[in-house]
Structure 1
């Protein structure tokens, strides 16, 4: 007997500058999807929120008049067990989107975060054709997860679809945020700083990561490009229900000093944010996570 899969089509809206208008296709999809529902999903996966054009912040690009739809399929998910995830992308008429452009060396970037922002994983699903992507992972704890699926159909703007998953298993209480600006990892010491003394919502800021050798304490001179850039940065704002508006993907700036990687962005609203910077050394990815607080 085939394994039972649960699937719900992601309700997708179109973004024109700062306004949001539902298409007839997304309204039809809402008959089978629980759009913006406050009820927990079954143990498995469903999808919610928007597919939107993507720049370094939430609303930088304009979406074409026919935005793609995405759906997530998964078996019942359990803590620390292999989990096979499948994402299907289709157009507004329900036909598979078959052509995708490579960006940052991949056809799709899948950012998986626990809703308490304690855990994050950056995955690259394999494209198997006819709009279908597959990837395997593990979920480190029980509870709710948000998956930001970042892809670029050929001839269209880069799009982020927000998907949801519920995982069986223990969910430990979230620890108090650690506000320190230094992380000591196996192959690097990562220091975080900013171009401004305090972080203000809506203000431009340069986020600076300085990476040092853990033994010599000297700046790393052997950092390697990661996904075609000096580094990768994902920022998620803490919220009771994570949506596309809480997600920021920033690109590395050129010409930073040796051992440093810089990113330019804005924090759109005041509140707590989790930053995950990723870099590469000796073929290994370095991931450093930090909490920051943004003032009004």
Structure 2
């Protein structure tokens, strides 16, 4: 074999070896990425309040992204269990939900700033948007919150916590974190009532006017009447004359509609304006809470939001 022929053979062998190496690395890289779920964050089963094991808890599709903006493949507003370094862990035991919030430093959060007179607002609603409950739980010195719920119908529920951290990188910023919980038993779905402009509760008629569009700031005007007469004796409730919360049909995205006026004393109503910014089109279930004569009333109606 001539010298030129030997050189040519060594060159071909080197090229072939490089090609095999490239294919091998590509195959290894493909195998290492296979089965990796980029839409969810994998983690070990967290510990619940006071060290309780959370491994058996059903968390459902809890995402890791934060609130704000329309749902575009990321977690919809209010459906994340973790945001900005703050993490919610909880357990449903009977009708009692116990939970903690862990801060960016890994420690259980024990300092909160009041929001509408309360350090913690807690909401529970079933996947079909029935069974709404709004509570203000109590916190133990170790940072464990306890929310005593009314009886829960069987089915999948979502538990929301709305709060303002008092310490950490997110101090002073309002957050909404949630997790799912299952109530065992035969679940019967409750059909979502059709969209309507008014509803009645405890003899009161609640009318909602306004046509907000998805992702855009708008206004909803609520009017309360009774026996055809305007109601003007609304009492202060959480610094205002009414509290309005909304949940999106299908994914249970959360929205708190903020009142545009504060309560200045007894005698509110009959008209209550709210700042509305609902991130997604479709049906939203609205829950309006107002107080008269020391009694809290909760009115519910469905609002359809256009794209």
Judge same fold: TM > 0.5, yes or no: yes
Aligned to 1:158: 174
Aligned residues: CA RMSD: 3.1
Structure 1 residue 110 displacement after superposition: 0.7
The answer to whether residue 110 in structure 2 is matched with residue 98 in structure 1 is yes
* Larger RCO, structures 1/2 (Cα 8 Å, 6+ apart): 1
Aligned length: 243
Q: For residue 139 of structure 1, report the CA deviation from its aligned partner.
A: 4.0
Structure 1 window deviating more from structure 2 (166-175 vs 272-281): it is 166-175
Instruction: Mark the CA change 1:92 to 1:204 in structure 2 (over 3 Å): closer, same or farther.
Output: closer
Counterpart check, 1:49 vs 2:67: no
Query: Which one has the bigger strand percentage?
Result: 1
2: CA distance, partners of 1:224 / 1:185: 16
**1:117 aligns to 2:135 (yes or no):** no
Q: Which one of 65, 70, 85 corresponds to residue 67 of structure 1?
A: 85
180, 192, 211: which one pairs with 2:196?
180
Cross-structure match for 2:225: 212
Change (3 A) 1:202 1:161: closer
- The CA deviation string for residues 185-237 of structure 1, in whole angstroms up to 9 with x for no partner, is 2242111211x4xx4323332111111123xx211111011111121111111
Of 169, 186, 195, the residue aligned with 2:185 is 169
Post-superposition CA distance 1:227-285 (Å, at most 9, x none): 1112111111112x44xxx2111111128984111111122222111111111111111
**Counterpart secondary structure, 1:267:** coil
Aligned pairs (5 A) from 1:1-296: 30-32=43-45, 46=59, 48-50=62-64, 52=66, 67-75=85-93, 77=94, 83-155=95-167, 156=171, 157-194=173-210, 196=211, 199-214=212-227, 217-239=228-250, 241-242=251-252, 246-254=253-261, 258-296=269-307
- SS of 1:49's partner is coil
Contact 2:129–2:285 under 8 Å retained in 1: yes
CA distance in 1, matches of 2:243, 2:151: 22
Moved over 6 A (4+): none
**TM-score, normalised relative to structure 2:** 0.70
User: SS at 1:224's partner residue?
Assistant: coil
Provide the rounded CA distance (Å) in 2 between the counterparts of 1:250 and 1:159.
14
Deviations 1:92-142 (A, max 9, x none): 343121211111111110111111112211011101122211121134421
After superposition, the Cα gap between the structure-2 partners of 1:238 and 1:176, relative to the gap in structure 1 and judged at 3 Å, is closer
Task: Using the TM superposition, give the Cα deviation of residue 67 of structure 1 relative to its aligned residue in structure 2, in angstroms.
Answer: 2.4
Consecutive unaligned residues in structure 2, runs of 5 or more? 1-37, 47-53, 70-75, 78-82
TM superposition shift of 1:31: 2.3
Specify the structure having the higher radius of gyration (Cα). Answer: 2
- Report the TM-score when normalising by structure 1: 0.72
Closer, same or farther in 2 for the Cα pair 1:113/1:125, shift >3 Å? same
Q: CA deviation at 1:45?
A: 5.1
